[in-house]
Each structure stands twice: as structure tokens, then as C-alpha cells.
Amino acid sequence: MGISGIGTAGYPLTGYTARKMKRSVEPGTVGFMETVEEKAAQGRAANQDEKAFEMVGPNAPQEVKDAWMDAAKEVNANGMGIRGNGMMSHISQMMVQRLNKQLKGETENFDILGSTVESAIQATKQALYDLEHPVVYTPRSIEVQQARIKEGEFYRAFLERLEQL
């Protein structure tokens, strides 16, 4: 006998049924809804990678954009530190470059990557150098440290693709 959703042993019925449902699913199977959510998350991440690229390379050639998107897909991160949900994981080095331009009074041109493959290589090398050689030590949370590692992986993958062009 249960009263107000409490079973005979004093456990909420929803917890019991949830545990029972978990055990009844075969190991290794993925449900339809999980697959749909995974595909939707991949689409959102690709959209955020494209938005991140537009923030730093609106005048860059298509081959630079393709290299950016390939690197972002491979590493599961982009050079702006923007996650698939649109939130920033941390302030990336390309964001710092963008902010430095703004501080110098450039309000119209936030183009970091430039209009050539060579200018994109230079900007990415500078971002990677700045990431690996910080001017000031700042204590960071574990999450930010992990995001910075991913940022470095992205820059290396992006540079590799750019240098092959």
C-alpha cells in the first residue's frame, strides 16, 4: 500500500521505477531520443563553430574557413572558446586579440585572421604562442585549464591544416 507516492518500504515510487527501467534496458543499446539529441548537439556545435569563425575571420578565404571547421570538428573545440550551447568556456587568445584591437580604437574591423592563408597562419601562431607563454600567472579553475588545453589542441590542428594549403 502506498500513500502520497510513497511505497510500502518508504521509497518514492518514481525512484524505484526509474531504477527498474534502467535495469531493463539492454546494455549497449541507444534509444531513438538519445540519437536525436546527439545529432542536435552536433548541429548546435557546428553552428557555434561557424559563429566563432565569423567573429575572427569575416574576410578570410573559404579554404581558411574549411580548415577552421575541420579542426573544430576534430578537436571538439574552437579558437574562441565557445561551446556548443553558445556559452564561453573561457577567454581565448583570439578573443584577447580581438579585445586588443577594440582597445586600440578599432571598432569596425575585428578581423583577426585577415584575408589570406598566410595572415591566418600568423594570427594562429601568435595565439598559440600567447597561450603557451602567458604574460602574467593567473590561477585558473580545472575547467578553464581543460578548456585552455583544448584551445591549444585546436590551434595546432588549425595550423596543421592551414600549412597544408
pLDDT single digits (tens) 127-143: 999 999 998 888 889 99
The predicted model gives 20-39 an average pLDDT of 56
Q: So what's the pLDDT on residue 24?
A: 47
CB atoms within 10 A of CB 98: 18
In a domain, 91, yes or no: yes
Instruction: Kindly indicate the confidence band of residue 107, based on its pLDDT and cuts at 50, 70 and 90.
Output: confident
For residue 25, is it within any domain? yes
For residue 86, is it within any domain? yes
Does the residue 8 lie in any domain? Answer: no
Segment 47-57 mean pLDDT = 92
Domain that holds residue 134: 13-163
Residue of 74, 122, 126, 64 lying closest to 100 (CA atoms):
126
Any domain includes 31? yes
Q: Is the pLDDT score of 115 beyond 80? A: yes
4: in domain: no
Please state the domain count of the chain. Answer: 1
